Structure 1
Amino acid sequence: MRTLPHPVVRHWDFPRGIASVALLLRFGASRGLRRDALLDGSGLTAGHLADPAAEINAQQELAVVRNLATHLPHAGIAAGQNYHATTFGVLGHAFLSAATVQDAVGVALRYLDLSFTFTAPTAELDGDRLVISLHPAALPDDVRPFLVDRDLAAIHTVIGELVTGEVPVLSVDLAHPAPPDTRSHEEVFGVRPRFSAGRDESVVDASVLTRALPLASPEATALCERQCEDLATRRRGKPGIAGEVRRVLELSARFEETMPVVARALGLSPRTLRRRLTESGTSYQALLDEVRSERAAALLPTASVDQVAAQLGFAEAASFIHAFRRWYGTTPGNYARTRGISDV
Structure 2
Amino acid sequence: MRTLPEPVVRHWDFPRGIASAALLVRFGAAHGLGRDVLLDGSDLTADHLADPVAEIGACQELAVVRNLAARLPHSGIAAGRHYHATTFGVLGHAFLSAATMQDALGMALRYLDLSFSFTAPTAELAGDRLVITLHPGALPDDVRPFLVERDLAAIHTVIGELVPGEVPVLSVDLAHAAPADTRPHEEVFGVRPRFAAGLDRSVVDASVLARALPLASPEATALCERQCEDLAARRRRRPGVAGEVRRVLELSARFEESMPVVARALGLSPRTLRRRLTEAGTSYQALLDEVRAERAAVLLSGASVEQVAAQLGFAEAASFIHAFRRWYGTTPSNYARTRGTSGG
Name the TM-score class by shorter chain.
Answer: 0.7 to 0.9
Show the counterpart of 1:56: 56
Classify 1:196/1:265 alpha carbon distance in 2 versus 1 (closer, same or farther; 3 Å). same
Classify 1:190/1:281 alpha carbon distance in 2 versus 1 (closer, same or farther; 3 Å). farther
Q: Contact (CA 8 Å) 1:16, 1:55: kept in 2 or not? A: yes
**Alpha-carbon distance in structure 2 between the residues aligned to 1:228 and 1:310:** 38
Classify 1:327/1:267 alpha carbon distance in 2 versus 1 (closer, same or farther; 3 Å). farther
Q: How far is 1:148 from its partner? A: 0.8
Q: How far is 1:50 from its partner? A: 1.7
SS in 1 for 2:124: strand
Q: How far is 1:125 from its partner? A: 1.0
Show the counterpart of 1:226: 226
Q: 1:330 aligns with which of 299, 311, 336?
A: 336
Q: Kindly, what percent of the aligned residue pairs are identical?
A: 74
Q: Contact (CA 8 Å) 1:175, 1:197: kept in 2 or not? A: yes
Q: Does 1:292 align with 2:298?
A: no
Q: CA RMSD in A?
A: 3.1
Show the counterpart of 1:212: 212
Classify 1:294/1:203 alpha carbon distance in 2 versus 1 (closer, same or farther; 3 Å). closer
SS in 2 for 1:204: strand
Q: How far is 1:47 from its partner? A: 1.5
* TM norm structure 1: 0.85
Q: How far is 1:275 from its partner? A: 6.4
Q: How far is 1:197 from its partner? A: 1.2
Q: Contact (CA 8 Å) 1:176, 1:195: kept in 2 or not? A: yes
Per-residue CA deviation, residues 87-119 of structure 1 (Å, 9 max, x unaligned), is 000000010111111111110011001001111
Unaligned runs of 5+ in 1: 337-344
Show the counterpart of 1:87: 87
* TM norm structure 2: 0.85
- Within a 5 Å distance, the mapping from 1:3-14 to structure 2 comes to 3-14=3-14
SS in 2 for 1:330: helix
Task: Name the stretch that deviates more: 47-56 or 243-252.
Answer: 243-252
Per-residue CA deviation, residues 270-329 of structure 1 (Å, 9 max, x unaligned), is 5664565566346243243256358859xx8xxx869x979967799x99x988984993
- Within a 5 Å distance, the mapping from 1:166-245 to structure 2 comes to 166-245=166-245
Q: Contact (CA 8 Å) 2:99, 2:217: kept in 1 or not? A: yes
**What letter matches 1:288 in structure 2?**
V
**What letter matches 1:289 in structure 2?**
R
Show the counterpart of 1:68: 68
Show the counterpart of 1:280: 281
Q: How far is 1:138 from its partner? A: 1.2
**What letter matches 2:234 in structure 1?**
R
**What letter matches 1:329 in structure 2?**
Y
Show the counterpart of 2:263: 263
Classify 1:42/1:256 alpha carbon distance in 2 versus 1 (closer, same or farther; 3 Å). closer
**What letter matches 1:170 in structure 2?**
L
**Alpha-carbon distance in structure 2 between the residues aligned to 1:287 and 1:146:** 18
Q: Contact (CA 8 Å) 2:137, 2:293: kept in 1 or not? A: no
Unaligned runs of 5+ in 2: none
Show the counterpart of 1:341: none
Q: How far is 1:129 from its partner? A: 1.0
Show the counterpart of 2:38: 38
> What number of residue pairs does the alignment pair up?
328
Show the counterpart of 2:161: 161
SS in 2 for 1:150: helix
**Alpha-carbon distance in structure 2 between the residues aligned to 1:89 and 1:328:** 38
